């Protein structure tokens, strides 16, 4: 397997221009193939990307691979969780209902599915009814995106990374085999940790992308060192359980450090004033997505750590 740090510092940093998901995906698969872990594959994918949007796609894809290792590694997948009321377990109105023949019927609407109609597999969070405590009991169903009863409608482009399609998904009587209901609680085992898993993988991919840019533009060695050090930290955190309070505290620090590095990168991109720089300015809002959720998670992590000292 390829040594990631050596790759980031010495491999050809010239990206292949890709204008669409279909053009980018084979490039992503090839870029990730020589790395062993999902974090390294995310960073390697970001390094090969000609824009931040494709780096995000690399991180998102590898985060799903980390969450559900049984997913086909080379095919795009998507997590379908968010509904009209949001992504909290209480908001999940999509249902899984036993059909009496050992299978389940999946019904409901998910309003925001990343990669939309490009996904081959959908991981759908759905309710199987109330548990003993009256809470919404969730499971994660794995379904083919082209299964009967599924319709995907493209949503308007987002202001940043418009190449990445998002879609609304409607499920009407979709038959789900028992083997395609993944084991464990849909929230505690999958949806809740995915927020951290995705942060780590997307951040790693973004750092890989910036390191390639730093080499192409001959940015100062000090900036490259800061970016490489952040990659090392992200890799270390990626090897830990994503639910740990200490992980969330450390991740907050990494995001702050990366924020300083990207502010410096902003200045260099502004001086470049070329097409790549224009895409960076357009897409850098991706790095602030879910910032409020991360802050809530940071505060909760410190509270947990404080309680453990009592």
- Which H, E and C letters describe 162-221, residue by residue? CCCCEEEEEEEEEEEEHHHEECCCHHHHHHHHHHHHHHHHHHHHHHHHHHHHHHHCCCCH
Same domain, 96 and 173: yes
Structure tokens at 134: 């009256």
Q: Which of 52, 35, 19 is nearest to 208 (CA)?
A: 52
> What average pLDDT does the chain have?
95
Same domain, 55 and 81: no
Q: Which of 105, 114, 118 is nearest to 80 (CA)?
A: 114
Same domain, 172 and 222: no
CA 70 to CA 64: how far, in whole Å? 10
User: What domain range includes position 176?
Assistant: 77-185
Same domain, 103 and 60: no
Same domain, 201 and 166: no
Q: Is there a contact between 288 and 258 (Cβ–Cβ < 8 Å)?
A: no
Is 100 contained in some domain? Answer: yes
Is 15 contained in some domain? Answer: yes
Same domain, 152 and 180: yes
Number of domains in the chain: 2
pLDDT digits over 91-142, tens only? 899 999 999 999 999 999 999 999 999 999 999 999 999 877 778 999 999 9
Same domain, 42 and 96: no
Same domain, 86 and 13: no
Distance of CA 146 to the CA centre of its chain: 22
pLDDT digits over 46-94, tens only? 999 999 999 999 999 999 999 999 999 899 999 999 999 888 888 899 9
Q: Which of 185, 205, 229 is the last residue of a domain?
A: 185
Residues in the chain: 310
Same domain, 133 and 269: no
Is 265 contained in some domain? Answer: yes
pTM, full prediction? 0.96
Same domain, 32 and 142: no
Same domain, 47 and 21: yes
Here the CATH number for the domain that contains residue 129 is 2.40.110.10
pLDDT over 60 at 200, yes or no: yes
Give the model's confidence band at 36: pLDDT under 50 very low, under 70 low, under 90 confident, else very high: very high
Q: Which of 153, 185, 217 is the last residue of a domain?
A: 185
pLDDT digits over 281-296, tens only? 999 999 998 899 999 9
Q: Which of 300, 286, 293, 282 is nearest to 258 (CA)?
A: 286
Q: Which residues contact 185 (CB under 8 A, 6 or more apart)?
A: 137, 138, 139
């Amino acid at each position: 397997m390829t040594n990631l740090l050596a790759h980031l510092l010495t491999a050809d940093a010239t990206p292949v221009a890709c204008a669409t998901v279909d053009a980018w995906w084979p490039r992503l698969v090839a870029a990730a193939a020589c790395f062993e872990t999902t974090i390294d594959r995310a960073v390697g994918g970001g390094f090969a990307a000609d824009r931040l949007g494709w780096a995000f796609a690399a991180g998102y894809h590898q985060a799903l691979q980390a969450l559900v290792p049984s997913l086909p590694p080379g095919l795009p997948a998507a997590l379908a969780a968010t509904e009209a009321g949001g992504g909290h377990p209480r908001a999940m109105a999509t249902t899984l209902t036993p059909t009496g023949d050992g299978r389940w019927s999946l019904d409901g609407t998910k309003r925001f599915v990343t990669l939309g109609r490009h996904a081959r597999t959908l991981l759908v969070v759905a309710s199987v009814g109330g548990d003993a405590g009256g809470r919404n009991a969730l499971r994660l169903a794995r379904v083919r995106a082209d299964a009967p009863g599924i319709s995907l409608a493209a949503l308007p482009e987002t202001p940043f990374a418009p190449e990445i399609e998002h879609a609304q998904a409607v499920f009407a009587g979709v038959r789900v085999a028992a083997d395609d209901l993944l084991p464990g609680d849909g929230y505690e085992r999958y949806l809740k940790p995915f927020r951290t898993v995705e942060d780590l993988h997307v951040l790693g991919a973004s750092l890989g992308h910036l390191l390639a840019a730093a080499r192409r533009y001959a940015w100062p060695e000090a900036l490259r060192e800061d970016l490489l050090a952040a990659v090392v930290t992200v890799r270390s955190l990626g090897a830990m359980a994503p639910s740990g309070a200490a992980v969330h505290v450390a991740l907050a620090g990494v995001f702050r450090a990366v924020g300083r590095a990207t502010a410096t990168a902003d200045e260099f991109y502004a001086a470049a004033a070329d097409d790549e720089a224009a895409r960076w300015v357009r897409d850098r809002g991706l790095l602030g997505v879910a910032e409020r959720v991360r802050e809530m998670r940071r505060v909760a992590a410190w509270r947990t750590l404080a309680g453990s000292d009592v």
